Amino acid sequence: MISVEDWALIRRLVADGVPQRQVARDLGIGRSTVARAVASDGPPKYERPAVPTSFTPFEPAVRQLLVTTPDMPATVIAERVGWTGSITWFREHVRQLRPEHRPVDPSDRLTWLAGDAAQCDLWFPPKKIPLEDGSTALLPVMVITAAHSRFMVAKMIPTRHTQDLLLAMWLLLQQMGRVPRRLIWDNESGIGRGKRHAEGVGAFTGALATTLQRLKPYDPESKGLVERRNGFFETSFMPGRDFSSPADFDAQFGDWLGLANGRVVRTIKARPTDLLDADRAAMLPLPPVAPMVGWVNRVRLGRDYYVRVDSNDYSVDPNVIGRFVDVHADLARVEVRHEGRLVAAHDRVWARGMTITDPVHVAAAKVLREQFQLPRPADPDEGLARDLADYDRAFGLIDGGLTDDAADGTADGLSDGEVA
């Protein structure tokens, strides 16, 4: 068998008009070899003929198992078919057969119209962020990518609860300045499970006049835009960066997104900032009245004058103990009101299981406690104030004896047959 170099040389010489007999003589090869090289459609290659191996007797049984269970582990298949040889050798053959038995799942190329959709997702940066109590935590980042322009906005949030997800979505949509006609999510538990949205999601999308579309399982291509950008963040933004707080992360990430949105995206051959105006023009306007988002609760304030938001407790003015108070919290602030009057205001803490106390509330509680513990003055109206002589007259007794009327069986003011 001749080499690829000899094959190319033979074809070049014959193409230049050199007779095949002379080519064979000059190269020291047979004329039949030259003729085959000229007649061949491609370069010569070595092909080993298929021969039976130790796996061949087991192949039909392996294929039968893969037909019913394409994802069955190779170790389980080996046990079922009675394989006793090298498991590495067995895995290699199973790996070659498995794609033939997996169900086909084609993915279409999607076309995103201007203003039609934005893809939403949570990205978890692979670096812990310092919190208020000195601890660190891996915090999620809400990312929204406009599908047509590929414009990206993002915000770090403390939890994956529905309240914080809706808060972040509203803040990011305000940054975009318009509302896409569809907000595309995967099956995030804070957004919804199965056929139902989480509580509050329907009211939120109704206020925005948009549609929230949750994808079916095993459909990653429909949200591939934002998924690919999550990987882009980890390779292009995260390396070499340190963060002192969630606010510091947002500041650094926001500056970097300004640069990233100005870069040409290979798939659309344009910069997101250049397409953003056309994308926004086809979106819906922001609602005239902001949707109700955040942590909202109405509770009766107990003797322990604290209210809970997420996992933290915040102090309240003890003067409203026993009354109903309205609690509202966003990503940055916690406020408590009684009949519209502000009775507590705190910065929201992102750490877990903390107690946040206002010294003014402690001082007010001390005063109330001291007033409660003071001895109460005696009430002059309390006790028996009626003259005992009234009872003597009622029973006909005066100075320990009976009256004349009582002695003869009658009482003053009573006629015969009447009972006093």
Per-residue pLDDT of the chain (420 residues; tens, 9 = 90+): 778 888 888 888 888 889 989 988 988 888 898 888 888 877 877 777 778 888 999 999 999 999 999 999 999 999 999 999 999 999 999 999 998 888 876 666 678 899 999 999 999 999 999 999 999 999 999 999 999 999 999 999 999 999 999 999 999 999 999 999 999 998 888 999 888 899 999 999 999 999 999 987 766 667 778 888 888 999 999 999 999 999 999 999 999 999 999 999 998 899 999 999 999 999 999 999 999 999 999 999 999 999 999 999 999 999 999 999 999 999 999 999 999 999 999 999 999 999 999 999 999 999 999 998 888 776 665 555 667 777 777 777 765 555 455 445 454 444 444 444
Q: What is the pLDDT of residue 399?
A: 56
Q: Let me know: does 293 contact 170? Beta carbons within 8 Å.
A: yes
Q: Report the residue count for the chain.
A: 420
Asked whether residue 186 falls in the same domain as residue 267, the answer is yes
27 within domain boundaries: yes
Asked whether residue 194 falls in the same domain as residue 238, the answer is yes
Asked whether residue 177 falls in the same domain as residue 267, the answer is yes
Looking at residue 113, its amino acid is L
Q: What is the pLDDT of residue 218?
A: 65
45 within domain boundaries: no
339 within domain boundaries: yes
Q: Mind listing the pLDDT tens digit for each residue in 328-368? A: 999 999 999 999 999 999 999 999 999 999 999 999 999 99
End-to-end CA distance of the chain: give it in Å, rounded: 142
Here the tokens at position 48 are 């080993």
378 within domain boundaries: no
277 within domain boundaries: yes
Question: What is the helix (H) or strand (E) element at residue 299, kind and residue range?
Answer: strand 295-300
SS3 47: coil
50 within domain boundaries: no
Q: Let me know: does 170 contact 200? Beta carbons within 8 Å.
A: no
CA distances (Å), origin 181, targets 115, 116, 196, 240: 6, 5, 20, 38
Q: What is the pLDDT of residue 36?
A: 87
51 within domain boundaries: no
CATH number of the domain to which 181 belongs: 3.30.420.10
Q: Which residue has the tokens 């993002």?
A: 154
The DSSP string of 302-331 is -SS-EEEETTEEEE--GGGTTSEEEEEE-S
Asked whether residue 133 falls in the same domain as residue 251, the answer is yes
Count Cβ neighbours within 10 Å for each residue of 383-417 and write b for 16 or more, e otherwise.
Answer: eeeeeeeeeeeeebeeeeeeeeebeeebbeeeeee
Asked whether residue 180 falls in the same domain as residue 91, the answer is no
Asked whether residue 150 falls in the same domain as residue 246, the answer is yes
Domain tally, the chain: 5
Question: What is the helix (H) or strand (E) element at residue 356, kind and residue range?
Answer: strand 355-356
Q: Let me know: does 125 contact 246? Beta carbons within 8 Å.
A: no
Asked whether residue 390 falls in the same domain as residue 257, the answer is no
Tell me how far apart the alpha carbons of residues 307 and 314 are, in angstroms, rounded to a whole number: 5
Nearest to 167 by CA among 358, 348, 306, 355: 348
The most distant pair of C-alpha atoms in the chain lies apart, rounded to whole Å, by: 172
Host domain of residue 83: 56-100
Asked whether residue 388 falls in the same domain as residue 369, the answer is no
Asked whether residue 239 falls in the same domain as residue 340, the answer is no
Asked whether residue 406 falls in the same domain as residue 324, the answer is no
Identify the sign of the CA torsion 123, 117, 250, 261: positive
Asked whether residue 198 falls in the same domain as residue 92, the answer is no
Tell me how far apart the alpha carbons of residues 147 and 128 are, in angstroms, rounded to a whole number: 30
Tell me how far apart the alpha carbons of residues 143 and 171 are, in angstroms, rounded to a whole number: 11
72 within domain boundaries: yes
CA distances (Å), origin 219, targets 119, 187, 232, 292: 13, 11, 20, 31
Q: What is the pLDDT of residue 40?
A: 85
Q: What is the pLDDT of residue 38?
A: 87
Domain endpoint, select from 281, 315, 346: 281
Q: What is the pLDDT of residue 267?
A: 87
Name, in order, each residue with C-beta under 8 angstroms of 262's C-beta and a sequence gap of 6 or more: 271, 272, 273
Tell me how far apart the alpha carbons of residues 314 and 98 are, in angstroms, rounded to a whole number: 57
Question: What is the helix (H) or strand (E) element at residue 204, kind and residue range?
Answer: helix 201-208
Asked whether residue 89 falls in the same domain as residue 146, the answer is no
